[in-house]
Amino acid sequence: MARINVPRTPIHTHEGAVAKRINPEMQLRRSVMSCLLWEKEFYEGGEDIASRIISLIPQVKPDKVAEIAIEAREQMKLRHVPLLIAREMAKYASHKGFVKGTLARVIQRPDELSEFLAIYWKEGKCPLSAQVKKGLASAFTKFGEYSLAKWDKAGSIKLRDVLFLCHAKPKDQEQDALWKRLINNELKTPDTWEVALSSGGDKKTHWERLLKENRLGALALLRNLRNFQQAGVDESLVEATLSKIKVERVLPFRFISAARYAPQLEPNLEEAMLKCLSSQNKLHGHTVLLVDVSGSMEDKLSSKSDLSRMDAACGVAMLLREICEKINIFSFSMKLVQIPPRRGFALRDAIVDSQLHSGTPLGEAVRCIYEDRNYSREKAGFGFYGSRPVQYQGQELRPDRLIVITDEQSRNPVPNPVVGKGYMVNIASNENGVGYYAWTHIDGFSEAVVNYIQEIEKAGLR
């Protein structure tokens, strides 16, 4: 009997465009690289995203799963989803052999030892697998007294519990003595800002001492700018500390949040954010950057955050502005708007204020980029931009590369890049997307996005 080929049912984005079918590895990557674990997004619930990640892990080769977990932690600076991935890997015989090495890489703070066990026992307490014990033991040896004391928080799972469970072996006598102090609750109290302020006394005095002694990490410094103001801390001292900040582990949008609480420090924050790019190579040629400012981009990164996906998009745009040799920047929602070539926070303001945040006709926006300024809806065959010509200035665009920053939830089909390279930067964890195959697809919203583009072009890849 002849076999009949039944066409597969099309899949769609949440806005209705036909989405691209991708393999499980690519699905796992797009679900992970922008995932703040168990946090709701605009279109999907946090539990749904986590369940999809869990279901995809056994479908992907174990070495690739491990690579994704490590990249999420080391490049995208995500803390919780790599721990979930390691936990799920421990369930499968095919993946268990990669658990030890993965845990040793993704656990970069002592409290993540306890957080991993909380995830491991989320569905009920059970024995730790041998590979999990080895991974936790390997990670435990990385931490000194200061970090152990700082992150040994009160809770149902303490660091001493993890130490007993994984049977870690100290590297030397000094570490052996340290772990005995941990077990006996005799660690030296760390000189952190939390400890200093909880001890009472004048907050201004505490803050200024911590700043002078460089006791605040980058994130603590950014998050406490408003507290400095309320305590009356010498602003010149804050400025001096910002000039020495180490930004390697700070996501670009964190500076946007900090500037909201301390707008008078924007120049200092801007300098700190951009200085990490001073040694990076330029992207040669002509770049066109297309930034999604649709309504879904206003959604918060997490329920506890005051930052949106648009903030994340603007953070990446601010970085790209610095390394591109020649760049034209546009926003799109219900029209295409050319953005003035500003830098830093001024560019963020120009993008956000460029138009109303409404629909997501990504397909038509991409078509318009490659056409001249008289490109109209009649020519495109879509009606989302209205009957008048698309509103942007300039000559016909034929860029060397088009970079789109979006959550990919287009309401119309997205064409392939016409000339040059096409990069679709996805900053959400939605199940389906559009920018694959002819597009180079990149998931996430850290500065690693910029590094990835540089490496692709350096290697001569498409």
Q: Are residues 242 and 304 in the same domain?
A: no
φ and ψ at residue 182, rounded to 5 degrees: -60, -50
Q: Residue 429 maps to which CATH number?
A: 3.40.50.410
Do 178 and 168 contact (CB within 8 A), yes or no? no
**Which domain-ending residue is among 240, 275, 310?**
275
Is 1 contained in some domain? Answer: no
Indicate whether 372 pLDDT > 60. Answer: no
**Strand 401-406 relative to strand 421-426, pairing:** parallel
Which of 252, 275, 298 is the last residue before a domain boundary?
A: 275
Return d(Cα 22, Cα 122) in angstroms, integer. Answer: 30
pLDDT at res. 63? 97
Residue scoring higher pLDDT (245 or 28): 28
Split into its structural domains, the chain has a count of 3
- Whether 391 and 362 have beta carbons less than 8 Å apart is answered as no
The Cα 199–Cα 31 span in angstroms is 43
Residues 304, 242 within the same domain: no
Asked whether the predicted pLDDT for residue 383 surpasses 50, the reply is: no
DSSP string, 237-249: HHHHHHTT---TT
User: Is the same domain home to 106 and 157?
Assistant: yes
311 and 441 in a single domain? The answer is yes
Confidence of residue 370 (pLDDT cuts 50, 70, 90): confident
% of residues, the chain, pLDDT over 90: 39
Strand ranges inside 306-387, DSSP E: 324-332, 336-339
Q: How confident is the model at residue 382 (pLDDT cuts 50, 70, 90)?
A: very low
The highest-confidence range among 28-42, 339-353, 434-448, by mean pLDDT, is: 339-353
Q: Which of 335-349, 381-395, 435-449 has the lowest mean pLDDT?
A: 381-395
| Local confidence band at 380 (pLDDT 50, 70, 90 cut-offs) | very low
The 421-426 sheet, strands edge to edge: 336-339, 324-332, 283-292, 401-406, 421-426, 440-443
Domain check: are 248 and 372 in the same one?
A: no
Instruction: Supply the pLDDT for residue 209.
Output: 92
pLDDT score of 427 = 85
pLDDT digits 0-9 by tens, 178-210:
999 999 999 988 888 888 887 777 899 989 999
Quickly count: other Cβ atoms within 10 Å of residue 322's Cβ.
18
Closest CA to 36 of 102, 84, 70: 84
Note down the domain range covering 231: 209-275
Residue that terminates a domain, selected from 231, 251, 275: 275
More confident call, 318 vs 15:
318
In this structure, the answer to whether residues 373 and 238 fall within a common structural domain is no
Adjacent-strand bridge partners of 12: 18
Q: What is the C-alpha separation between 82 and 79, in angstroms, rounded?
A: 6
Q: What mean pLDDT comes out for the span 329-348?
A: 90
* pLDDT at residue 443 is higher than 70: yes
Sign of the Cα pseudo-torsion (93, 95, 96, 97, in order): positive
Pinpoint the alpha helices (H) of 152-251: 159-166, 173-183, 193-198, 203-212, 218-223, 225-231, 235-242
Helix (H, G, I), strand (E, B) or coil at 191: coil
Residue 352 and residue 292 in contact, taking contact as beta carbons nearer than 8 Å: no
* 330 vs 314: CA distance, rounded Å: 12
Taking residues 391-411, report their average pLDDT: 76
Do residues 325 and 360 both lie within one domain?
Answer: yes
Asked whether residue 119 is assigned to any structural domain, the reply reads yes
The β-bridge partners of 172 are none
pLDDT for 330: 93
Between these two residues, 219 and 4, which has the higher pLDDT value?
219
Q: Are residues 442 and 295 in the same domain?
A: yes
pLDDT in the model for residue 181: 94
Query: Are residues 141 and 95 part of one domain?
Result: yes
The Cα–Cα gap between 290 and 424 comes to 10
Cβ atoms within 10 Å of 231's Cβ, excluding its own: 16
* Mean pLDDT across the chain: 83
Cβ neighbour number for residue 434 with a 10 Å cutoff = 27
Structure-token match 């109303």, residue found: 356
Residue 241 maps to a domain? yes
Q: Quick check: 272 pLDDT over 90?
A: no
pLDDT at 128 over 50: yes
Query: pTM value?
Result: 0.76
